[in-house]
Amino acid sequence: MTDGQGGTGAFAAKVFGVDIGGSGIKGAPVDLGRGELAEERRKVLTPHPATPDAVLDGVVEVVRHFDWSGLPVGVTFPGVVRNGVTLTAANVDKGWIGTDLASRLGGRLGCPVTVLNDADAAGVAEVAFGAARGVKGTVIVLTLGTGIGSAVFTDGQLVPNTELGHLELDGHEAEKRASTKVKEDEDLSWSHWARRVRKYLQHLEMLFSPELFVLGGGVSRKAHKFLPLIEGVRAEIVPARLQNNAGIVGAAMAAAAAAGDAG
Residue ranges in contact with ligand BGC by CB under 6 A: 78-80, 88, 90-91, 117-119, 143, 147, 149, 163, 165, 175
**Nearest distance from C-beta of residue 165 to ligand BGC, angstroms:** 5
Which residue in 54, 58, 43 sits closest to 96, CA to CA?
A: 54
Give the burial class of 224: count Cβ atoms within 10 A of its Cβ; 0-12 exposed, 13-18 middle, 19 or more buried.
exposed
Minimum CB separation of residue 8 from ligand BGC in Å reads 34
CB of 166 to ligand BGC, least distance (A): 6
Within 8 A by CB and 6+ apart from 131, the residues are 212, 214, 238, 239, 240, 241
- Whichever of 82 and 136 has its CB closer to ligand BGC, that residue is 82
Task: For ligand BGC, give the closer residue by CB, 16 or 77.
Answer: 77
Indicate the residue among 5 and 91 with the shorter CB distance to ligand BGC.
91
Q: Considering beta carbons, is residue 91 or 154 the nearer one to ligand BGC?
A: 91
Shortest reach from residue 180's CB to ligand BGC, in Å? 11
Q: Closer CB to ligand BGC, residue 72 or residue 79? A: 79
Alpha-carbon gap, residue 263 to 253, rounded angstroms: 15
- Partners of residue 215 on adjacent β-strands: 142, 239
Smallest gap from Cβ 117 to ligand BGC, in A, equals 5
